[in-house]
């Protein structure tokens, strides 16, 4: 019986005690501890709301001392009683993780889940069930856990790095790195007789897909390690094809210089048909940003969701792409777009001056910023002004503009 199973057995024996004994045991440990479901949340909410109203009134009359005192009271309002928070459950298909700061709560959850599954003729798989701590060793178990191919672990840091005293690091799990490397070596071994183009075409989707999956966590070290392990396999593949050639000749044939990198596994550059092997480390790390507050794709905030996702069914594709590229900011003034703002697409280099209608020449601006930028370009409606033309201010609503017609004699406009 493993030590993990011992923990489970002990927890079962503890759970079989009468409910009254268990409640007494909890009261002895911490008399101020109450179950979260027993808290009168409605009354607590009313007390907090009243404090907030008093803070607002004190702030309105400029009583700084009263504001600070009430804020301190509000801060400790939830600490009058220690409330046992419910456990956090993260589930994907038939895999799940239960997280809580109290070990007994996690053990109790395991017992409840086991009994619930037993009624359906199912049980938790012992090899995949672990009780562990994310920061410290528990029962000789290493800190952290693996979930959906990720390793989640916390490391102690100084007070200047984190007020909590630890930092959470999520990396690709060692097992998934090993499986991925074995798949790469298997592909290389299966293409011993295949040309370089076929090998690269087979490897690129595998490398790109795996790298994109882990591109939101701390993966640079894993990427570099896999690239370093892949090089000897590619070198052995190339030398096997030309046993009578020198290493320099083989390197010159299969590794090219691209963008200052002299060791790019690629086909010889014949026209524009260059095919290169992508590296894991080429994948940029982009951190996942949590959704703000209670935002929802159905709340009508087109600016926020277009900037976040780069696509929206109610917004043109060009606008959503530029919003994502510009991170929701106007390219002219640098301020964030708001829901009520009117947005316009502008050509950085006007078409009349040789600019092209492509994304790298497009930017998204406020309407008033677009007018300012157009005036700076000495353009109005795409036409150069001369001294004989008369301009008028655009209509206030900007729903339409007056039509200007230049007089041939230069004395006015129709």
DSSP readout, 304-337?
HHHHHHS--TTS-HHHHHHHHHTTTB-TTT-PBP
Q: Which pLDDT value is given to residue 21?
A: 41
Q: Which pLDDT value is given to residue 351?
A: 87
Q: What is the mean pLDDT of each run of 10 residues along the chain (414 residues)?
A: 36 37 42 53 77 84 83 63 74 90 88 90 87 87 91 90 88 96 96 92 95 94 95 94 92 88 85 83 89 83 87 89 91 90 90 88 92 77 38 44 46 41
H-type alpha helices, 2-128: 3-15, 19-29, 41-60, 64-75, 103-118
Dihedral class, residue 82 (left if φ above 0, else alpha if ψ from -120 to 50, else beta): beta
SS3 98: strand
Sheet containing strand 150-156, edge to edge, reads 145-147, 150-156, 166-172
Distance (Å, rounded) from C-alpha 305 to C-alpha 328?
10
Q: Which pLDDT value is given to residue 83?
A: 54
Q: Which pLDDT value is given to residue 258?
A: 85
Give the HSE-up count for residue 403: Cα atoms under 13 Å, Cβ half-sphere.
2
Q: Tell me the three-class secondary structure of 213-247, residue by residue.
A: HCCCCCCHHHHHHHHHHHHHHHHHHHHHHCCCCCH
Distance (Å, rounded) from C-alpha 156 to C-alpha 301?
40
Distance (Å, rounded) from C-alpha 8 to C-alpha 111?
8
């Amino acid at each position: 019986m493993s030590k993990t199973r011992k923990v489970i057995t002990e927890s079962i024996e503890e759970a079989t005690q009468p409910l009254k004994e268990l409640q007494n045991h909890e009261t002895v440990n911490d008399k101020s501890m109450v179950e979260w479901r027993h808290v009168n949340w409605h009354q607590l909410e009313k007390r907090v709301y009243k404090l907030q109203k008093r803070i607002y009134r004190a702030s309105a009359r400029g009583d700084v001392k009263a504001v600070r005192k009430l804020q301190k009271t509000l801060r400790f309002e939830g600490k009058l009683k220690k409330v046992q928070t419910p456990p956090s459950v993260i589930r994907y298909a038939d895999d799940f993780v239960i997280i809580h700061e109290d070990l007994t709560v996690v053990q109790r959850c395991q017992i409840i889940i086991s009994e619930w599954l037993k009624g359906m003729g199912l049980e938790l798989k012992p090899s995949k069930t672990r009780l562990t701590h994310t920061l410290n060793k528990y029962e000789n178990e290493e800190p952290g856990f693996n979930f959906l191919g990720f390793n989640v672990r916390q490391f102690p840091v100084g007070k200047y790095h984190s007020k909590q005293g630890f930092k959470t690091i999520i990396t690709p799990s060692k097992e998934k790195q090993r499986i991925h490397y074995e798949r790469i070596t298997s592909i290389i071994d299966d293409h011993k007789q295949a040309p370089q183009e076929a090998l690269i075409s087979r490897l690129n989707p595998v490398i790109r897909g795996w790298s994109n999956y882990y591109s939101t966590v701390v993966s640079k070290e894993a990427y570099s390690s896999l690239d370093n392990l892949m090089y000897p396999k590619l070198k052995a593949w190339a030398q096997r094809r030309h046993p009578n050639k020198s290493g320099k000749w083989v390197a010159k044939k299969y590794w090219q210089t691209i963008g200052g990198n002299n060791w790019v596994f690629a086909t010889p550059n014949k026209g524009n048909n260059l095919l290169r092997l992508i590296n894991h480390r080429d994948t940029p790390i982009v951190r996942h940003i949590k959704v703000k507050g209670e935002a929802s794709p159905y709340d009508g905030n087109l600016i926020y969701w277009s900037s976040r996702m780069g696509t929206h069914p109610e917004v043109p594709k060009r606008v959503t792409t530029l919003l994502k590229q510009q991170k929701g900011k106007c390219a002219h003034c640098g301020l964030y777009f708001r829901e009520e703002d009117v947005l316009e697409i502008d050509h950085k280099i006007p078409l009349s001056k040789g600019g092209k209608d492509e994304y790298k020449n497009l930017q998204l601006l406020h309407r008033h910023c677009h007018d300012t930028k157009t005036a700076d370009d000495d353009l109005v409606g795409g036409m150069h002004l001369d001294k004989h033309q008369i301009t008028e201010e655009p209509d206030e609503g900007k729903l339409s503009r007056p039509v200007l017609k230049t007089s041939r004699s230069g004395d006015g406009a129709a």
